[in-house]
C-alpha cells in the first residue's frame, strides 16, 4: 500500500510538472489593430515678395483693376471688363531709379512724378509728388503687396486741380 501511495504520489508530481510546463510555456498571440487614421496636412504660406526699387522701376505699370471714389463719384475698371465706368486701357505709370517718374493719363497727357520714396522699412507704403500742369498733389500708396508680378495697393490723395479727395484700391501689372 505504501508503494501504491508513493507511486501515485510520484505519478501525480510528474503529471503536475508536465501540466505546469505545458501551460507555462504556452504563449498567446493577441494582435491589436489600430484603426485610427492620422492625416497630416502641410500648409504652404505664400508670402508676398518684398517690393524693391528695382521691381518698381523695372517697367511701366498699367491698370489691371481699379475701384475708387473721386470726389463722390464711383469708378470701376477691370481690364477687358464690360461694366467699366471709365476706360483706363491706355493709362500707365512709370517710376525711375532717380526718384522721378511719369504718368500717362487716359487722355494721353504726361504728368511728372517727383520724389517718390518708400515711407517705411517694409516697403508697404510709397509717397510721391504728382504734377497736373503746375499743381502739385501728394500721393500715398499704402498696403502695397507685390505678388504674381502685380502691384496691389490702396491709394489716396487730394486732387488740388479739381479740389476733390480720391481714394481707390488698385491692381497694376507690367505694361
Q: Does residue 33 fall inside a structural domain?
A: no
Q: What is residue 39's predicted lDDT score, i.e. its pLDDT?
A: 74
Q: What is residue 26's predicted lDDT score, i.e. its pLDDT?
A: 55
Q: Does residue 7 fall inside a structural domain?
A: no
Sequence-ordered list of residues with C-beta below 8 angstroms from that of 115, at least 6 positions apart, any chain: 99, 100, 127, 128, 129
Q: Does residue 16 fall inside a structural domain?
A: no
Q: Does residue 134 fall inside a structural domain?
A: yes
Q: Does residue 96 fall inside a structural domain?
A: yes
Rounded Cα distance between 64 and 66, Å, is: 7
Q: Does residue 2 fall inside a structural domain?
A: no
Sequential pLDDT tens for the chain (175 residues): 455 455 666 666 666 665 565 555 555 667 666 666 667 777 666 667 899 999 999 999 999 999 999 999 999 999 999 999 999 999 999 999 999 999 999 999 999 999 999 999 999 999 999 999 899 999 999 999 999 999 999 999 999 999 999 999 999 999 9
What residue numbers bound the domain in which 86 lies?
53-174
Q: What is residue 55's predicted lDDT score, i.e. its pLDDT?
A: 96
Q: Does residue 81 fall inside a structural domain?
A: yes
Q: Does residue 146 fall inside a structural domain?
A: yes
How many angstroms separate the Cα of 59 from the Cα of each of 19, 28, 29, 66?
A: 93, 77, 73, 19
How many angstroms separate the Cα of 170 from the Cα of each of 34, 61, 98, 116, 142?
A: 54, 11, 24, 18, 11
Q: What is residue 41's predicted lDDT score, i.e. its pLDDT?
A: 76
Instruction: Report the number of distinct structural domains present in the chain.
Output: 1
pTM attached to this predicted model: 0.71
The CATH number of the domain holding residue 65 is: 2.40.128.20
C-alpha cell at 62: 498699367
Amino acid at each position: 500500500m505504501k508503494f501504491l501511495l508513493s507511486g501515485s504520489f510520484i505519478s501525480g508530481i510528474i503529471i503536475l510538472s508536465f501540466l505546469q510546463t505545458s501551460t507555462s510555456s504556452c504563449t498567446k498571440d493577441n494582435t491589436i489593430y489600430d484603426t485610427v487614421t492620422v492625416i497630416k496636412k502641410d500648409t504652404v504660406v505664400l508670402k508676398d515678395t518684398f517690393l524693391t526699387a528695382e521691381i518698381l522701376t523695372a517697367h511701366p505699370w498699367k491698370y489691371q483693376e481699379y475701384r475708387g471714389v473721386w470726389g463722390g463719384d464711383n469708378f470701376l475698371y477691370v481690364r477687358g471688363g464690360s461694366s467699366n465706368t471709365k476706360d483706363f486701357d491706355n493709362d500707365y505709370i512709370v517710376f525711375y531709379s532717380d526718384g522721378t517718374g511719369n504718368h500717362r493719363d487716359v487722355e494721353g497727357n504726361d504728368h511728372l512724378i517727383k520724389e517718390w520714396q518708400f515711407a517705411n522699412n517694409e516697403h508697404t507704403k510709397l509717397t510721391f509728388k504728382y504734377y497736373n500742369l503746375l499743381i502739385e498733389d501728394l500721393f500715398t500708396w499704402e498696403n502695397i503687396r507685390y505678388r504674381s508680378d502685380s502691384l496691389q495697393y490702396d491709394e489716396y490723395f487730394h486732387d488740388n486741380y479739381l479740389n476733390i479727395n480720391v481714394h481707390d484700391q488698385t491692381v497694376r501689372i507690367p505694361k
